[in-house]
Amino acid sequence: MEGANAVGVAGVPASALNRIDLSSPDIRHSVALLKQACLDSGFFYVINHGIGQDLMEEVFVQSRRFFGLPLSEKMKLLRNKNYRGYTPLFDEVLDAGNQIRGDYKEGFYLGVEVPEDDPDAQRPHFGPNLWPSEDILPRWRQTMEKFHSQALNVAKALARIIALALDLEADYFDRPEILGKPIPVLRLLHYEGLISDPSKGIYGAGAHSDFGFITLLATDDVPGLQICKNKDAKPQTWEYVQPLKGAFIVNLGDMLERWSNCIFRSTLHRVIGNGQERYSIALFLEPNHDCLVECLPTCMSEENPPKFPPILCHTYLAQRYGDTHADLDVYRREGA
């Protein structure tokens, strides 16, 4: 790791995470840094990823404008059954056992634009996006589409380094049946300026590990994200992941943990509000709907057989999304 833990916030230490420089020509060094990070914490920063600072900032400006709209306007874009659109406060409950109501955050999901008449349009996380009208938020859609596609490219570049770190061919995950028609979900998040109180079950986002392959997270400069490197330790200890300007914070999801037979671990994390409003933007990269996630050839041996049965990506995601999101009927009843 690079250096000792820095000073955190309110007695909680800050995690010293490796920085993967995507502009570095020294791929072997990048693979080594990434591998070490994946074995140690499942979290790292990605720097020099090629997305311009202007776009990184513009996407936050546009996100703030959306969340600043009146609730009635946002509710017109309430998320649909395909997980597209606005998720109000408490829509998500990431740690039901420890939360009283749900996450103190609102969000907005968008993804690949699949036209209504496409056979794939009915699949979860596909279909037409829900967009705010141009009259209300000009340039919003263009900004989001541009960021979504550039962030997807960064995620795919990382997938190649991850493949090398798992002793696979660099383009292993690029195969048509894996990332040929991936599910890249962009999620804008807004945390109210509320002070979290774990002893009362109040969290910005409850403790969880992400569901999929990898997550890229851009944040503003308000601290809040915490990780727990050892989910089985009692009591659990938490460290802050400090915001790093212009960088992505990257973490591995549960699908990669399964795929890699737990060689690479998905890491528990949560968001603790400190009273300041906070914005973040996540890109969740998941493989094709029909990708069979089964133990990778380099991650098993006679002494270390596969720990999980194979599972289809869409089956796994449907279960995880279903378990953590409100039933849409709740909103129908409220609106009645």
256 is an interface residue for ligand OGA by CB under 6 A: no
| 203 alpha carbon, distance to own chain's centre | 17
Nearer to ligand OGA, 179 or 272 (CB): 272
Strand 311-312 to 292-293 pairing: antiparallel
Residue 297 CA, chain-centre distance (Å), reads: 26
Closest residue to ligand OGA using C-beta atoms: 280
**Interaction partner, residue 92 (ligand OGA, Ni ion, none; CB < 5-8 Å by kind):** none
Using CB atoms within 10 Å of the CB of residue 26, give its burial: 0 to 12 exposed, 13 to 18 middle, 19+ buried. Answer: exposed
Selected from 282, 291, 293, 313, the binder of ligand OGA by CB under 6 A is: 282
Of ligand OGA, Ni ion, none, which one does residue 280 interact with (CB within 5 to 8 Å by kind)?
ligand OGA
Give the residue with the Cβ less far from ligand OGA, 258 or 269.
Answer: 269
Is 286 a binding residue for Ni ion by CB under 5 A? The answer is no
d(CA 232, CA 13): 19
Q: Is 324 helix (H, G, I), strand (E, B) or coil?
A: helix
* Binders in 146-175 for ligand OGA, by CB under 6 A: none
Which three-class secondary structure state does DSSP give residue 106? strand
Nearer to ligand OGA, 164 or 281 (CB): 281
| String of contacts with Ni ion for each residue 207-226, x by CB under 5 A | ---x----------------
Range list of H helices, the chain: 27-40, 53-67, 71-75, 140-165, 176-179, 254-259, 313-324, 329-335
Q: Which residues bind Ni ion (CB under 5 A)?
A: 210
Q: Which residues bind ligand OGA (CB under 6 A)?
A: 189, 205, 210, 217, 219, 224-225, 269, 271, 280, 282
